Amino acid sequence: MDSPQPLIHIQGLTKVFVTDEIETHALSGIHIDIQRGEYVSISGPSGCGKSTLLAILGLLDTPSAGTYTLNSTPVQELKLSERARIRNREIGFIFQAFNLIGDLNVYENVELPLTYRGMSSNERRERVHQALQRVGMSHRIKHYPSQLSGGQQQRVAVARALSGDPSILLADEPTGNLDSQNGEQVMELLRELHRNGATICMVTHDERYARHADRSIHLFDGQVVEENSDFAALTQ
């Protein structure tokens, strides 16, 4: 039987930054497949290329060489408008700094990405309420980010990512600005989303949280130096 087509297929991915005639090789010949419904963590020391890889996965940056196929679509040749459409419809982002808009309340922050899709107000409202209910923040719908704790802000950020029903959730150090208690609550939320079928790719420097993933990919100097698929078994 043929193996399923991976949701993400990366082959020979390289990223070189050139500044003042100095070349910095952020990524060098990365090969990664991520299956639909998989939970993958990407770890490694500062400067090893983790965030660069996540930016390329999220179509926020382009590789210098190599191929990237998302959901059977080769993305490296797409026009900017097509990349923006895929980014809006296929990818959910969860950032370390939350990236909520201070002048918008919880409802409006979660709704904002949906407004670019031409949805009716009724459909947007239904999606926002469902997403906030999933993260346990329905009771804060009229509050503003400044009125929320860090853990609550991150839950709203997760709801914003979920509202668009993306193919994959990309999380960049989602617990980096949280204390241990709130960090563990957000990680439990990600685990629950994964159990319900979400595909998650998470950058983390914390080995405790990397262990929650099905598979951990370790980067060093822009290269994959180790892959471990045993973390899930260790946490059962």
Mean pLDDT across the stretch 205-213? 85
CA 112, 115, 164, 141 torsion-angle sign: positive
CA dist list (Å): 179 to 6, 124, 170, 176: 35, 32, 21, 8
At 228, is the pLDDT very low, low, confident or very high (cuts 50, 70, 90)? confident
Total domains, the chain: 1
3 within a domain of the structure (yes/no): no
Taking phi first (over 0 means left), then psi (-120 to 50 degrees means alpha), and beta for anything else, what does residue 232 get? Answer: alpha
Cα(168)–Cα(38) distance, integer angstroms: 9
149 within a domain of the structure (yes/no): yes
Range of the domain at 191: 8-234
Domain with residue 63: its CATH number is: 3.40.50.300
1 within a domain of the structure (yes/no): no
Q: What is the pLDDT of residue 31?
A: 95
- The string of pLDDT tens digits covering residues 5-47 is 899 999 999 999 988 888 888 999 999 999 999 999 999 888 8
- The string of pLDDT tens digits covering residues 64-97 is 999 999 988 999 889 999 999 999 888 999 998 9
pLDDT over threshold 70, residue 233? no
